[in-house]
Amino acid sequence: MDYSDYLKLNQLLTLQQPKSPHSEHRNENLFIITHQTYELWFKQLIIEIHHVIDSISKSEIADAINTMQRITIIMQTIVDQISIIETLKSHEFQRFRNYLGSASGFQSWQFAGIEALLGKPDNKKLQQYQCDNEIQKKLAAIIRPVSLHEVVCEQLIGAGIPGQDNKKIIKTMLESPSCESLLLNQLLDLDSLLQKWRYRHVKLVERTIGQRTGTGGSDGISYLKTTLFTPIFEELWEAL
């Protein structure tokens, strides 16, 4: 087996198929590759988040910390990667936008799965796949009965025990020099990065389509702005 076989390069490199006239292919190709790269990173993020959930469930905190470090770096990469697609000018995007039809990032089931796996399912997003058995199966493989948020609350913080002041417990944990504190701080990093991604995506969309509606049928940036400042680990932020 050689490099090309192992990576299935022949298949991979034929998966970019612009729909617009040839003169627009350079820009549409950038658009496609950017989205495909995101989906690949989403795939890896899902694997890593599953691993963190399992590690915390088994109280293997050092293992969870190692995996969170990888997750944070992937997240930082996908935030930074927005800079590449930001080089696509509004008029360049308009020249091939119609060829996308109703395709939209809103339909990214891996993204919807990640939101749910972390602990903040977007029901409107998830409902769109109700009649699609294939995607339902894929989502079922992504979403776990216990989300990362739930496992952190139950296993790490011990939330839900009557008479406990969770805010005080979290604050004490965050301030103590311990592995648990390191892990909680990594979860704050993850939350910040997810929110940074949302912010950079809104600004990208604003400069690319202005006030136009989205291909997915939303109001565009006014909808996307409603998704800002929505942390997953609210308890951690409240305890600071």
How is 66-129 classified by DSSP, letter by letter? HHHHHHHHHHHHHHHTHHHHTTS-HHHHHHHHGGGTT--GGG-HHHHHHHHHHT---HHHHHTT
User: How many residues bind to ligand HEM according to rule CB under 6 A?
Assistant: 25
- How many Cβ atoms sit within 10 Å of the Cβ of residue 184? 21
Q: What character string, x for contact with ligand HEM (CB under 6 A) and - otherwise, covers 103-132?
A: -xxx-x--x---------------------
Contact window for ligand HEM (CB under 6 A) among 7-15, 20-28, 61-69, 200-208: 200-208
User: By the 8 A CB rule, do 27 and 95 touch?
Assistant: yes
In this chain, which of 85, 142, 153, 156 binds ligand HEM, going by CB under 6 A? 85
CB 150 within 8 A of CB 119: yes
Nearer to ligand HEM by C-beta: 29 or 166? 29
Q: Which is nearer to ligand HEM, 32 or 174 (CB)?
A: 32
Among 199, 214, 225, 235, binds ligand HEM (CB under 6 A): 214
237: closest CA among 178, 189, 182? 189
Asked if residue 204 binds ligand HEM (CB under 6 A), the reply is: yes
Q: Which of 49, 53, 68, 224 binds ligand HEM (CB under 6 A)?
A: 224
Question: Minimum distance from CB of 105 to ligand HEM (Å)?
Answer: 2
Give the helix/strand (H/E) hosting 204: helix 179-209
Shortest spacing between CB 193 and ligand HEM, in angstroms: 14
Write down the least CB distance from residue 158 to ligand HEM, Å. Answer: 31
Among 72, 199, 209, 225, binds ligand HEM (CB under 6 A): 209
Q: Which residues, 6 or more positions from 234, have their beta carbon under 8 angstroms from its beta carbon?
A: none
- Binding status of residue 227 toward ligand HEM by CB under 6 A: yes
User: By C-alpha distance, which of 15, 53, 219 is closest to 152?
Assistant: 53
Span interacting with ligand HEM, options 1-9, 34-42, 43-51, 134-142, rule CB under 6 A: 34-42
- The whole-angstrom separation of Cα 106 and Cα 214 is 9
Give all strands (DSSP E) within the chain, no chain letters: none
197 binds ligand HEM (CB under 6 A): no
Contacts of 236 (CB under 8 A, 6+ apart): 170, 174, 184, 187, 188, 191
By CB under 6 A, residue 200 contacts ligand HEM? no
- In the bound state with ligand HEM, the residue whose beta carbon lies nearer, of 185 and 195, is 195
**Binding stretches for ligand HEM (CB under 6 A):** 34-35, 38, 85, 88, 93, 104-106, 108, 111, 201, 204-205, 208-209, 214-218, 220, 223-224, 227
